[in-house]
A and B are shown apart, each in its own frame.
Chain A
Amino acid sequence: QSVLTQSPSASETPGQRVTISCSGGTSNIGNNPVNWYQQFPGTAPKLLIHSNDQRPSGVPDRFSGSKSGTSASLAISGLHSEDEADYYCAAWDGGLNAYVFGTGTKVTVL
């Protein structure tokens, strides 16, 4: 059972904005940076956002991350059909001494 909770699914039409939330606690999101990963079916995940709001080289600026207290969010603006994928948040949990992933959110482009 994951300690980081995400809504199972999110959907929006092309060009719109979709926001994915990630809820945790003080031992993880509250005191450690949040990372986000994107995964297409049958492929390995890819880092999308690190350190709460930093985009690695090559990630479009349509993707943005934020954190407030014990929650974090990933926003995708100007949604493209190729953004249809699973998205996971993650953070180190100092109480568990473990890296914890969120439950994952499937984004569908209508």
Chain B
Amino acid sequence: EVQLVESGGGLVPPGGSLRLSCAASGFTFNSHWMTWVRQAPGKGLEWVANINQNGSKIFYVDSVKGRFTISRDNVKNSLYLQMTSLRADDTAVYYCVRTIGGSSCLWGRGTLVSVSS
């Protein structure tokens, strides 16, 4: 089955760290750009970061630069988001997305990150 499954979300205090994972299956993972998108409770969608097929091109939204790191392991067919110095406004559902702007776009179900003391 073609799918993306996120994991690693949870409750973390402000200033803490968390590592999200996204396991890809059913398709050739290393052929696709991958993206993290988040959605705060009751709010709209916000793009977080992109990574190209071999990890040589990476982009971040300004609000996470220097705090979040996107990476991928094409052997394990997995995408990651290392999040540090977490703030309350990072609270959101985080989605893993394949080829966000193309015909082969695929979204995972998301994982909830809550930053609170």
Contacts and interface: CB of A to CB of B under 8 A. Distances in A.
B60 to A, nearest CB: 8
A46 B44 CA distance: 14
A35 B107 CA distance: 14
B101 A44 contact: no
Interface string B90-106: 00000100001111010
Interface stretch (B13-21, B45-53, B78-86): B45-53
Interface residues of A, number: 28
Interface in B24-72: 35, 37, 44-47, 50, 59-62
B59 A33 contact: no
Nearest to A102: B44
Contacts of B95: 44-45
B9 interface: no
Interface of B: 35, 37, 44-47, 50, 59-62, 95, 100-103, 105, 107-110
Interface of A: 2, 33, 35, 37, 39, 43-47, 50-51, 54, 56-57, 88, 90-92, 96-104
